[in-house]
Amino acid sequence: MEEIVYGIATILFIGGIIGSVIPMLPGPVFTYGGFIILYWFTSLDISLENIWWLGVITIVISILDYYIQIWGVKRMGGGKGAITGTLIGTIVGLFFTPLGMLLGAFVGAFIGAYVEAKEEGKALKIAFGALVGFITGIILKLSFSIYVIYHVLTLL
């Protein structure tokens, strides 16, 4: 029975890693779900305190993920057009390679900012802000997922 539980947790951990890179999938939530399943259905020595702390961190990261990219755009002077362009570009980029997501966010922010400000230099600066926010969100989610997986592996 425990082998099945470990298999399900492994699938959720892999989903967490993939979801950390693909914006529409809740990577940290998948990873935390795998951790919860191991807590409930295995004999691993997981403390309730770890469950609570990782749950809080999962919620914080999930909320931050949506705001970091917007913050990057706003920090560089972008408005609603740049934010909308970033979101549309990211969604369009999903249909291409992971590089397409990065380029989609960048190009979308650039187009949205350019339409809004009519200044190429400012639009480029805003697009880089969107890109930095996007990459920061990926690094944050990926770090969390890798930490949780590492923590579980130390318990085995």
5-59 pLDDT, tens per residue? 999 999 999 999 999 998 788 999 999 999 999 999 999 999 999 999 999 999 9
Query: Does residue 121 carry a pLDDT above 80?
Result: yes
Mean pLDDT value of segment 136-144? 95
Binned at pLDDT 50, 70 and 90, residue 111 comes out as: very high
Tell me if residue 144 falls in helix, strand or coil: helix
**Burial class of residue 118, CB neighbours in 10 A (0-12, 13-18, 19+):** exposed
Task: Check: CB of residue 122 under 8 Å from CB of residue 9.
Answer: no
Q: What are phi and psi of 96, to 5 degrees?
A: -115, -165
For the whole model, what pTM was predicted? 0.88
Q: Which residue from 113, 141, 132 is spatially nearest to 21, judged by alpha carbons?
A: 141
Q: What percent of the chain has pLDDT over 70?
A: 100
65-82 pLDDT, tens per residue? 888 888 888 889 888 999
Which one-letter DSSP state was computed for residue 149? H
**Burial class of residue 120, CB neighbours in 10 A (0-12, 13-18, 19+):** exposed
